[in-house]
Amino acid sequence: MSADLSKLLNAIGLLAISTVLALALVDQLWFGDLPCPLCILQRAGFFAAGFGIALNLIFGPKPSHYGVAIVGAIAGGSISLRQIVLHIIPGTGHYGNDVFGLHLYTWAFIAFAAIILGCAIMLLDDRQFSRAEPMSVRLKVLPLSALLLFLTLAIANIASTVALCGAGLCPDDPKTYMLLQGG
């Protein structure tokens, strides 16, 4: 695989992660489903994984960048799995809405597993790590758009978390934005 193809696949991967983050933000802002502390940590896992992929777009593909993405996905997947285990016993309830019969933390676990698998597959081809060829003009727009979208979503999610939690600990079952309520 050439460096150009690797960059294109990384841009598509970053857009997929950005889509997950955008959907989480829409669920929070549009449907009023405020994230619990574990949900916020899962978003941080998506940011860490996306950061590793963004490094591939900025500096070219490197095994260490994929390593950052894999570590972020493992951390986020572990948090998702923790939340699944908390709610797996019948009668313990659940947190948040379900989509196609699965709760968002279950979908997050599936997404983290897909990120790990995708990075592992990308690591199988060493040719992408050879000297990078200049990207063609048509491929420049997609990686730049993916980076800008990811950065915008990172800032929006950080702002929403600060509004939700204020300067203290996030509530276990948030009902309102602490910062907007004055505490």
Distance CA 58, CA 64 (A): 13
Distance CA 80, CA 140 (A): 34
Q: Are 146 and 44 in contact (CB under 8 A)?
A: no
Instruction: Please tell me the pTM assigned to this model.
Output: 0.87
Amino acid at position 161, single letter: T
Q: What is the pLDDT of residue 132?
A: 57
Q: What is the pLDDT of residue 181?
A: 74
Q: What is the pLDDT of residue 133?
A: 55
Neighbours of 1 (CB within 10 A): 15
Distance CA 27, CA 140 (A): 31
Q: What is the pLDDT of residue 131?
A: 66
Alpha-helical regions (H) of the chain: 3-29, 37-59, 63-86, 104-123, 137-165, 178-181
Distance CA 119, CA 10 (A): 9
Instruction: Estimate to the nearest angstrom the gap between the alpha carbon of 127 and the chain centroid.
Output: 27
- Per domain, the residue ranges of the chain are 3-181
Q: What is the pLDDT of residue 183?
A: 46
Distance CA 6, CA 169 (A): 40
**Does the domain spanning 3-181 belong to CATH 2.60.40?**
no
Q: What is the pLDDT along the chain (183 residues), one digit of tens a residue?
A: 777 788 889 999 999 999 999 999 998 888 888 888 999 999 999 999 999 999 999 888 899 999 999 999 999 999 999 998 888 877 776 666 677 888 888 999 999 999 999 999 999 988 777 765 555 544 578 888 999 999 999 999 999 999 988 878 888 888 888 877 754
